[in-house]
Amino acid sequence: MKIIVNPNRMELLKLRKRLDLSQRGHRLLKEKLEGLVKNFMPLVDEYRRKRTQLDELIPRTLNLFALAAATSSREIVTLALEECRGEANVSMEMRKVMGVGAPTFRLDEFRLEMAYSLIATPPELDLATSELGSLLPKIIELASIEELLRRLAREIEKTRRRVNALEYVMIPEIARTKKSIEGKLEEAERGSRVRLMKVKEMLEARGM
């Protein structure tokens, strides 16, 4: 980015104000970036911890369904599951971290009616459906954290780009242009002083 301006005092004053504003903006954005990262990392740890728990629970639940199908038959298990009726009440609220908002979902109520015959189905199926009911709120909570992390990551990247643009492009270019104008104005002032001195010498030589 190259700034093209006329080398005069008015433009120099504008550049000084612009440089000051850019430096203050850079400091504020850097503080925001540090705050975003500071809040982001604990959420990453929380997400990893809860994801690890789910990665352990989900295969166990699936194994119970597989075991139920193996001890009776896949057709019986499929038919029994088709007869189940479930109802879930999910609420949503907005969660904000450093001005970044994301919807947070919470499972308020979950009911699962197992309408199949307990005599015709294996006990592993009961355990599997029970496990499934306990997994649902964990999955919803993890999805909410993941969405917040995704939005925070986008904001961190956007803020980092703005910080870098100010630090490595805009501020150095404004400072370079300011210094160039100051140099040209100083040179013009020296030229004016030299001309004034010559005029003064000429007047003194003429006895004026």
Residue 148: which domain range? 9-201
Among 27, 26, 34, CA closest to 169: 26
Angle (CA) 93 95 99, round 5°:
140
Beta strands in the chain (DSSP E): 85-97, 100-113
pLDDT at 1 over 70: no
At 146, is the pLDDT very low, low, confident or very high (cuts 50, 70, 90)?
very high
Highest mean pLDDT among 56-65, 67-76, 152-161, 171-180: 152-161
* pLDDT tens-digit map of 112-135: 666 555 566 777 777 777 787 788
| Assigned token pair, 86 | 């479930």
208 in any annotated domain: no
3 state SS of 116: coil
CATH number at residue 94: 1.10.287.3240
Chain mean pLDDT for the chain: 84
- Per-residue pLDDT averaged across 10-21, rounded? 91
How many Cβ atoms from other residues are within 10 Å of residue 163's Cβ? Answer: 18
The pLDDT, as a whole number, for residue 167 is 94
Q: Count the domains in the chain.
A: 1
Distance CA 22, CA 14 (A): 12
Write down the pTM of the prediction. 0.76
Secondary structure letter of residue 119 according to DSSP:
T
